[in-house]
Amino acid sequence: METTELVFWAVVLSRLLVPLLIPRFPLPAILACLIIDGVDQSIFQAIAPDADLTSYQSYDKALDIYYLVIAYISTLRNWTNQAAVYIVRFLIFYRLAGVVLFEITGVRELLIIFPNTFEYFFIFYEAVRLFWDPRRMNTRVLVGAAAFIWIFIKLPQEWWLHVAQLDMTDFIQEDIFGVPAGTAWVDTFAARPWVVVIAVVVVIGLIYAAYWLMKNKMPPRDRPLTIDADAEPNREVPAERLAAMRARMAQTFLQPGLAEKIGLLALTGIVFGLMLNVQAEPIGIAVLIGIVVVGNAALSLLLERQGFGPGPALRQFVVTGLLNIAVVAVMFFVFDLLGYPIDGQNTGFFVFLITLLVTLYDRYRPEYVARFATAVPGSA
């Protein structure tokens, strides 16, 4: 395998695997996703300047949605401020709806109306959680932070990227360093080294300002710095309480979590289908995914009632995958008999996507419900 192919697959695998670290290490993992997303095409252009990246650009946008949805699901596992969870739930569904409308209509201005406020709000919350108990933030603070991010950060950024369609790399090279776009970065920095010096001084100044504010103006820290979500006091739900909640949830098939899961996966599936040019209408994708999710939930509930609970994550992923394959196989057979055969292209990818997200959602939603429930029958 050539170096170009190795680098390509290394980037693609990093975009698939790094998001899986978000539930345990939220802030560094999502920042890593941001960085990889920002530099991936620059890396490809550096190692293969003449490569056609048109097909990758579709996957690039789809993989952005992939890590954002995982980030949302991780809030069910980790966040102890329920008002913050309500806010990010609105922000992720609002963004997904906007992306679906954009992919259907091609109207780029929709991305300003539906900005990706979710991602930066997630970063804000996780940054607070490094040192402080996030439950200290009331609803007014949280809504104010979301509004500030929406108006002063995301709206200008969305306009820059999707309406003006300006490239930050080209802007830096052409307008700041005065070199043609695509110039090697070593030559770029050499053209105006004083710009680099100023940038370094500004970064050092910002770091010092942040340190000074934290030391002199911010409330006293609640705990030492940690990037591990599991290290947050009071995050983990007691085992007996979680078990009691799982038992109670297993008694009822129709519950709010099922509706949310269908909506989340249907919107995600539509986005992926439109971006990857799947030969199916959005409503068709949504219906098929809804059938798979409902079928999976019914079979999972049946197994759990028979005493076969979630168990270790890998086992749950495998079992969920087998259930999804069974549901999809039945769907192929039934739709074929009805004279509406399903296009099998990308079916494997969609099954993998649904399996992964369903596994994460089913593992973490009971923690969220148990954490905020006022009383759980059968728990201590």
Report the 10 Å Cβ neighbour count for 137. 19
Of residues 380 and 313, the one with the higher pLDDT is: 313
Instruction: Flag whether 368 is in a domain.
Output: yes
Please indicate, yes or no, whether residues 345 and 299 belong to a single structural domain of this protein.
Answer: yes
Eight-state DSSP code of residue 312: S
Flag whether pLDDT at 43 surpasses 50.
yes
User: 40 Cβ partners below 8 Å, 6+ apart?
Assistant: 11, 15, 60
What is the reported pLDDT for 121? 97
Please indicate, yes or no, whether residues 311 and 322 belong to a single structural domain of this protein.
Answer: yes
Please indicate, yes or no, whether residues 187 and 217 belong to a single structural domain of this protein.
Answer: yes
Shortest CA distance to 362 belongs to which of 273, 289, 280, 297?
A: 297
SS3 224: coil
Judge whether 338 and 257 are in contact, CB under 8 Å.
no
Residue 225: pLDDT band (50, 70, 90) is: confident
Residue 380: pLDDT band (50, 70, 90) is: very low
Please indicate, yes or no, whether residues 196 and 178 belong to a single structural domain of this protein.
Answer: yes
Flag whether pLDDT at 14 surpasses 60.
yes
Instruction: Flag whether 202 is in a domain.
Output: yes
Question: What's the one-letter identity of residue 135?
Answer: R
Residue 377: pLDDT band (50, 70, 90) is: very low
Angle at the Cα of 11 from the Cα atoms of 8 and 14, rounded to 5 degrees? 145
CA pair distance 45, 36, nearest whole angstrom: 14
Q: What percent of the chain has pLDDT over 70?
A: 83
Of residues 242 and 306, the one with the higher pLDDT is: 242
Instruction: Flag whether 91 is in a domain.
Output: no
Q: Range with the lowest mean pLDDT among 105-119, 193-207, 272-286?
A: 272-286
Please indicate, yes or no, whether residues 179 and 244 belong to a single structural domain of this protein.
Answer: no
Of residues 307 and 14, the one with the higher pLDDT is: 14
Average pLDDT, the chain: 83
Give the model confidence (pLDDT) of 81-139 as tens digits.
Answer: 999 999 999 999 999 999 889 888 888 889 899 999 999 999 999 999 999 999 999 99
Please indicate, yes or no, whether residues 294 and 344 belong to a single structural domain of this protein.
Answer: yes
What is the reported pLDDT for 378? 45
CA pair distance 73, 354, nearest whole angstrom: 13
Instruction: Flag whether 64 is in a domain.
Output: no
Of residues 172 and 138, the one with the higher pLDDT is: 138
Flag whether pLDDT at 62 surpasses 60.
yes
What is the reported pLDDT for 319? 76
Judge whether 251 and 301 are in contact, CB under 8 Å.
no
CA pair distance 72, 69, nearest whole angstrom: 5
Judge whether 99 and 118 are in contact, CB under 8 Å.
no
Shortest CA distance to 110 belongs to which of 120, 122, 95, 90?
A: 95
Flag whether pLDDT at 362 surpasses 50.
yes
What is the reported pLDDT for 169? 76
Segments forming the whole domain that contains residue 175: 167-234
Please indicate, yes or no, whether residues 292 and 364 belong to a single structural domain of this protein.
Answer: yes
Please indicate, yes or no, whether residues 245 and 364 belong to a single structural domain of this protein.
Answer: yes
Please indicate, yes or no, whether residues 367 and 246 belong to a single structural domain of this protein.
Answer: yes
Q: Range with the lowest mean pLDDT among 34-48, 214-228, 252-266?
A: 34-48
Residues listed for the chain: 380
Q: Range with the lowest mean pLDDT among 35-39, 50-54, 367-371?
A: 50-54
CA pair distance 323, 355, nearest whole angstrom: 9
Q: Please give the model's pTM, rounded to 2 decimal places.
A: 0.86
Please indicate, yes or no, whether residues 247 and 221 belong to a single structural domain of this protein.
Answer: no
Using CB atoms within 10 Å of the CB of residue 72, give its burial: 0 to 12 exposed, 13 to 18 middle, 19+ buried: buried
Flag whether pLDDT at 379 surpasses 60.
no
Instruction: Flag whether 316 is in a domain.
Output: yes
Last residue of a domain, one of 191, 214, 234: 234
Instruction: Flag whether 16 is in a domain.
Output: no
Please indicate, yes or no, whether residues 365 and 257 belong to a single structural domain of this protein.
Answer: yes
Give the model confidence (pLDDT) of 89-99 as tens digits.
Answer: 999 999 999 98
Judge whether 110 and 159 are in contact, CB under 8 Å.
no
Please indicate, yes or no, whether residues 242 and 230 belong to a single structural domain of this protein.
Answer: no
Which of 10-14, 154-158, 326-330, 332-336 is modeled with the greatest confidence?
154-158
Question: If you average pLDDT over residues 343-353, what whole number do you get?
Answer: 70
Of residues 319 and 144, the one with the higher pLDDT is: 144
Give the model confidence (pLDDT) of 141-171 as tens digits.
Answer: 999 999 999 999 999 988 888 777 777 777 8
Give the model confidence (pLDDT) of 212-224 as tens digits.
Answer: 887 777 888 888 8
Instruction: Flag whether 215 is in a domain.
Output: yes
Instruction: Flag whether 51 is in a domain.
Output: no
Question: If you average pLDDT over residues 163-189, what whole number do you get?
Answer: 82
Angle at the Cα of 196 from the Cα atoms of 161 and 159, rounded to 5 degrees? 10
Last residue of a domain, one of 178, 212, 234: 234
- Locate all alpha helices (DSSP H) within the chain, ordered by sequence: 3-17, 26-47, 54-78, 82-105, 110-113, 117-129, 139-148, 155-158, 168-171, 185-191, 193-216, 239-249, 256-275, 282-305, 313-337, 347-372
What is the reported pLDDT for 61? 77
How many domains would you assign to the chain?
A: 2
Judge whether 259 and 167 are in contact, CB under 8 Å.
no
Q: Give CA 35 to chain center in angstroms.
A: 14
Last residue of a domain, one of 203, 234, 265: 234
